[in-house]
Amino acid sequence: MRVRCAGARLAVALGVASILAAPALCAQTYLGVDVSGATVHYDGFLSSGALSVSPSLLLVGSGGTLAAQATLLRFQSGHTSVQGVLAGATYLRLGDRLLAELSGEGGSSSYRSFSPFVHGMAQFRLHLLTSRSTGVWAAGEGGEVRYQDVRRGLWTSSAGGWMRVRPALLSAAVSHADVGDTTYTDVQGNLLIERGPLQLTGDAGVRAWSVGAGRGVYGEVGATWWMTDHLALTASGGRYPADPLRGTIAGRYVALGVRIGRRIPSPLGARATHAGSSDVPLDPPAPTTRTAVAEGGTGEAIGTGMAPAVAHFDVNEAPERGDRMQLLHVVAPAARAVEVMGDFTEWRPVALTATGGGAWEVALPIAPGIHRVNIRVNGGAWVAPPGLAVASDDFGGVVGLLPIGNGP
């Protein structure tokens, strides 16, 4: 038992360390506050109206993430509940598909003048990315909870998987927890759907086995509607189970509110828009040649009378042709002439030579660095070659940014 307790304290210490180490350097800061009105019915209590104010802070750094959150609940009775939590995580890549995560969480909650519930825990999690849109994980967690001067060790183990199927993210997990004499096993599924300004969340689960933590089915749904970049309406409701790790009891609720703060990037990678924004293309259009560039850099001319599109463009070193020589290779199947110009040609057009099969090429001396380049087909408009980053050229058109050598 002593060993178990010492282990729990070591886990808490590790958790604190990971919290402190997480934001080695803050790259993104998300500060927000949720204000909502709710009706809540905790198991064993009468239902009550409640006003909730919940500020939150999320720091995303190159060393990890750190989140802090507090919730103040003012019940109809005039009584107040306060919760606070601080959590951090650091990550270590073990390979292209394997990732280790060490995280920690500490928090406290109190209601009226009752003794506060305090928890601290550390978790080690191993992530395996099975593809770009699927993954599995397994985790172990240890820590300690304290209530009324009684300390109890906690241990959990869990495993799960997830799948991104735009616009949805599906996940499922099974977890088992021991907190002192309380033990329970949950099976849970989650769903996240994101469409422009709308985020929908849902989860359903079952506490399949339990001693001292209740059993049964639970589920919640939530919706967030981003009206502007910094303001959203929120609605949520459902039933959630008791959480012996954090000292909350089971309950049902319906809440409506607003969220003020920057939108956190979606795990779906969905476009971060709000209700009033337009879903415009990110890259400026080519000036006159209408080119449909598909994923992978292929394309075709649209309509008649337009210049044929450049389907492919790449540049490779050509040392056999001389010092600093680069071979520019273009695929433009329907072209009669292809020209390129850039800062490496003194902005004079240079004709490419047809090599058959719609391919064109030219070797030019180009020094390492980032170069500005344009291309045109059949004497048409100068456009940015496909596949390059595109920037305004200050003359009403665009240029491609061509990295050579050590450049990106």
Partner 1 sequence: MRYRLGAALLGLVLVAAPLLAQQEARLDGRVDAATRARLTVVLDSAHAAGLPADPLVNKALEGASKGATGDRIVAAVRRLAADMTRARTALGAASTAELVAGAAAIHGGADPALLNRLRTQRPGASLEVALAVLTDLMARGVPADTATRAVVALVGTRARDAELVAFRRNVEEDIALGAPAAAATVVRLPASAMIVFAQPGVIGSSPSLHQAAAPRRP
Residue from 67, 179, 193, 309 in contact with partner 1 (CB under 8 A): 67
> Cα 81–189–86 angle (5° rounding)?
35
CB closer to partner 1, 29 vs 115: 29
CB closer to partner 1, 185 vs 190: 190
Count of helices and strands (H, E) across the chain: 1, 25
Two tokens at 57?
């802070």
- Strand, coil or helix: 51: strand
Instruction: Show contacts with partner 1 in window 69-128 (CB under 8 A).
Output: 69, 71, 73, 85-87, 89-91, 93, 99, 101, 103, 105, 107, 123, 125, 127
Among all chains, which residue has been given the structure tokens 């665009």?
A: 398
Phi, psi of 172 (to 5 degrees): -150, 150
Q: Binding pattern to partner 1, positions 233-272, x when CB under 8 A?
A: -xxx-x-x------------x-x-x---x--xxxx-xxxx
Instruction: Show contacts with partner 1 in window 269-298 (CB under 8 A).
Output: 269-272, 282-283, 295-296
CA–CA distance, 395 with 377 (Å, rounded to integer): 19
Residue from 7, 9, 17, 26 in contact with partner 1 (CB under 8 A): 26
The stretches of 258-375 forming alpha helices (DSSP H) are none
Determine if 162 is a binding residue for partner 1 (CB under 8 A): yes
For residue 38, the minimal CB distance to partner 1 (Å) is: 4
Determine if 396 is a binding residue for partner 1 (CB under 8 A): yes
The stretches of 27-107 forming alpha helices (DSSP H) are none
Q: What is the 3-state secondary structure (H, E, C) of 260-287?
A: EECCCCCCCCCCCCCCCCCCCCCCCCCC
Asked if 178 contacts 166 with a C-beta cutoff of 8 angstroms, the reply is no
Query: CA dist 165 to 97, 130, 221, 257, 269, Å?
Result: 19, 14, 19, 29, 11
Q: How many residues does the chain have?
A: 408
Two tokens at 86?
């601080």
Asked if 34 contacts 52 with a C-beta cutoff of 8 angstroms, the reply is yes
Determine if 160 is a binding residue for partner 1 (CB under 8 A): yes
Residue from 11, 38, 177, 340 in contact with partner 1 (CB under 8 A): 38
CB closer to partner 1, 24 vs 334: 24
Residue from 9, 16, 61, 290 in contact with partner 1 (CB under 8 A): 61
Determine if 134 is a binding residue for partner 1 (CB under 8 A): no
Determine if 151 is a binding residue for partner 1 (CB under 8 A): no
Instruction: Show contacts with partner 1 in window 197-216 (CB under 8 A).
Output: 199, 201, 203
Among all chains, which residue has been given the structure tokens 């600093």?
A: 324
How many residues form the binding site for partner 1 (CB under 8 A)?
Answer: 109
Determine if 190 is a binding residue for partner 1 (CB under 8 A): yes
For residue 240, the minimal CB distance to partner 1 (Å) is: 6
For residue 395, the minimal CB distance to partner 1 (Å) is: 4
Give Cα 158 to chain centroid, integer Å. Answer: 22
HSE value, Cβ hemisphere, 13 Å, CA-based, for 158: 22
Instruction: Characterise 216 by phi-psi region: left (phi > 0), alpha (psi -120 to 50), beta (else).
Output: left
Closest alpha carbon to 53 in 263, 260, 238? 260
Residue from 120, 135, 153, 247 in contact with partner 1 (CB under 8 A): 135
Instruction: Show contacts with partner 1 in window 357-376 (CB under 8 A).
Output: 369-370, 372, 374
Determine if 390 is a binding residue for partner 1 (CB under 8 A): yes
CB closer to partner 1, 355 vs 405: 405
| Residue 243 CB contacts under 8 Å (≥ 6 apart), including other chains | none
For residue 129, the minimal CB distance to partner 1 (Å) is: 8
CB closer to partner 1, 34 vs 144: 34
CB closer to partner 1, 5 vs 24: 24
Residue from 7, 9, 17, 54 in contact with partner 1 (CB under 8 A): 54
CB closer to partner 1, 323 vs 394: 394
Residue from 108, 109, 182, 188 in contact with partner 1 (CB under 8 A): 188
CA–CA distance, 154 with 144 (Å, rounded to integer): 5
Instruction: Show contacts with partner 1 in window 299-338 (CB under 8 A).
Output: none
For residue 355, the minimal CB distance to partner 1 (Å) is: 25
CA–CA distance, 178 with 152 (Å, rounded to integer): 10
